[in-house]
C-alpha cells in the first residue's frame, strides 16, 4: 500500500523532496529512502538529487482501477467477476488459477510487476515495473482440454484485433501465440490449465505485452523485441487494457460457442510467417518447411520434404531460417 502511494506521487515525473514524501506518507525520511531502494529493485529508475529530492524521469503511467471500470462496457464488467489490479505479485497467472481454486468464476488480474512472471517453455517473463502490460483472465471451459487447442490462437487474434482498433495495424501472429511486428516480439500469451481434462477446465489466459521496454532489458532478451511506445502508441495503459480485455471476452464467448474453425481465416490473414520458410522444434526434434497456415483445430500446417504435415501442441517454436 505504501509503495503504491509513493508510486502514485512520483508518477508525475516531478521532483519530490524526502521530507515532502515523508509527510505525505507519514513515514520518516530514512523510510522514504528504503522505499526508493525497493522501487529500484522492481526496475523503476529513480533519480535522486541532493537538495531537490527524488523523481522518476519521464514519470509513470500506472493502471487506474476506476478508469478501467468506467471504460469496460457493462456486459464485459458483468461477465468479469473479479477485477484485481496490483502493484506487485508473483504471477498474475498464479493469481488467476488460485482464485478459481477458491471458487471465483471469471476474473481479471493485472499487475505492475511480477516477481515470478512465467513465459512459455519454462522461461521467465521479465519486465520492470510498469514497462509492459501483464494480465491474466480467469475463465472456465466445460468442453474438456482437447477442445482448447485453438484457444491460444483465438486469444492472439483478439489481441491483434484490439491493437488494430487503436491504430496498430502492423501486428502479426506467430503460431501458436506470439505477437510480432517485423519479426520482433511485441507480446506473448501463456495459457495454463487445471481441472478435469475431459470436463470443466479452469484456464488462466496470461498476456504480456511490451509497452516501454528499457534498452538494458531488451538487450538481455534472447530475441529481437519491440514495444508499443516505439510503434507510436500514445494512449494510456489503462485504456489499452480495457480495449484488450473487452475484445478478449467477446472472443472467448465466440470460441466457447463455435470453437476455432470460424476464426481460422482471420488468423491466417494475420499469420506473420505465411508462405515463409520456417524451422519448428518440438522437444529434441526439428522440422523444416514452408508455413502454410493452420487447421480448423489450430494445428500448424507445414509443407515439408515429406509432404503436408500438421503439428499440434504448445511446446513448439517457429523460427525464421
Ligand atoms: C511467452 O511469450 O513466453 C508468454 C509470456 C506470457 C507472460 C504473461 S505476463 C502475465 C501472465 N503471468 C505470467 O506469469 N505470465 C503471463
pTM above 0.85, yes or no: yes
Ligand 1, atom nearest to 185 Cα: 2
Q: What is the mean pLDDT of residues 148-160?
A: 95
Highest mean pLDDT: which range of 103-112, 187-196, 279-288: 103-112
- Examine the pLDDT at 140 and tell me if it is beyond 60: yes
- Examine the pLDDT at 74 and tell me if it is beyond 80: yes
- Examine the pLDDT at 314 and tell me if it is beyond 70: no
Highest mean pLDDT: which range of 33-47, 90-104, 112-126, 196-210: 90-104
Angle between the N-to-C axes of helices 2-10 and 29-41, in degrees from 0 to 180, rounded to the nearest 10:
80
Whats the size of the chain, residue-wise?
321
Ligand 1, atom nearest to 90 Cα: 14
> Which of 77, 79, 118, 120 is labelled catalytic?
120
Residue 202 near ligand 1, beta carbon < 6 Å: no
Residue 127 near ligand 1, beta carbon < 6 Å: no
Distances (CA, A) of 100 to 137, 143, 294: 11, 17, 31
pLDDT of 300 reads 94
Q: What separation in Å is there between the alpha carbon of 31 and the centre of ligand 1?
A: 33
Percent of the chain clearing pLDDT 70 (strictly above): 97
- Examine the pLDDT at 321 and tell me if it is beyond 80: no
Owner of C-alpha cell 505479485: 89
- Examine the pLDDT at 93 and tell me if it is beyond 70: yes
φ, ψ for residue 14 (rounded to 5)? -90, 165
Q: Which of 214, 218, 157, 159 is nearest to 185 (CA)?
A: 218
Which residue of 63, 88, 89, 134 sits with most ligand 1 atoms within 8 Å of its CB, as the best mutation to test the pocket?
134
Residue 54 near ligand 1, beta carbon < 6 Å: no
Look at 4 and 214; give whichever has higher pLDDT: 4
pLDDT range class, residue 298, cuts 50, 70, 90: very high
Q: What is the mean pLDDT of residues 136-156?
A: 90
Residue 117 near ligand 1, beta carbon < 6 Å: yes
Q: What separation in Å is there between the alpha carbon of 134 and the centre of ligand 1?
A: 7
- Decide if 67 is catalytic: no
Amino acid at each position: 500500500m505504501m509503495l503504491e502511494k509513493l508510486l502514485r506521487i512520483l508518477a508525475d515525473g516531478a521532483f519530490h523532496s524526502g521530507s515532502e514524501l515523508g509527510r505525505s506518507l507519514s513515514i520518516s525520511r530514512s523510510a522514504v529512502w528504503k522505499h526508493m531502494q525497493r522501487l529500484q529493485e522492481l526496475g523503476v529508475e529513480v533519480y535522486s538529487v541532493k537538495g531537490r529530492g527524488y523523481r522518476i524521469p519521464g514519470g509513470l503511467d500506472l493502471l487506474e482501477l476506476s478508469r478501467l471500470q468506467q471504460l469496460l462496457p457493462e456486459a464485459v464488467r458483468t461477465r468479469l467477476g473479479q477485477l484485481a489490479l496490483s502493484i506487485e505479485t508473483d504471477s498474475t497467472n498464479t493469481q488467476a488459477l488460485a482464485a478459481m481454486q477458491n471458487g471465483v468464476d471469471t476474473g481479471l488480474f493485472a499487475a505492475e510487476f511480477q516477481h515470478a512472471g512465467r513465459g512459455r517453455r519454462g522461461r521467465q517473463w521479465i519486465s520492470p515495473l510498469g514497462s509492459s502490460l501483464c494480465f491474466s483472465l480467469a475463465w472456465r471451459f466445460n468442453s474438456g482440454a482437447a477442445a482448447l487447442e485453438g484457444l491460444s490462437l483465438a486469444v492472439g487474434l483478439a489481441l491483434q484485433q484490439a491493437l488494430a482498433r487503436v491504430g496498430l495495424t502492423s501486428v502479426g501472429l506467430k503460431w501458436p501465440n506470439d505477437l510480432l511486428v517485423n519479426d520482433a516480439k511485441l507480446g506473448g500469451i501463456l495459457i495454463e490449465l487445471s481441472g478435469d481434462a475431459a470436463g470443466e477446465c479452469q484456464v488462466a489466459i496470461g498476456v504480456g505485452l511490451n509497452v516501454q521496454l528499457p534498452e538494458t532489458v531488451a538487450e538481455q532478451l534472447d530475441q529481437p523485441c519491440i514495444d508499443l511506445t516505439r510503434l507510436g502508441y500514445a494512449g494510456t495503459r489503462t485504456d489499452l487494457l480495457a480495449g484488450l480485455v473487452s475484445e478478449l471476452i467477446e472472443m472467448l464467448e465466440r470460441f466457447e460457442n463455435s470453437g476455432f474453425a470460424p476464426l481460422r481465416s482471420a488468423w491466417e490473414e494475420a499469420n506473420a510467417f505465411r508462405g515463409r520458410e520456417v524451422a519448428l522444434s518440438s522437444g529434441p526434434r526439428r522440422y523444416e518447411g514452408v508455413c502454410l497456415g493452420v487447421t480448423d483445430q489450430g494445428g500448424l500446417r507445414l509443407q515439408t520434404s515429406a509432404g503436408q504435415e500438421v503439428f499440434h501442441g504448445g511446446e513448439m517454436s517457429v523460427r525464421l531460417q
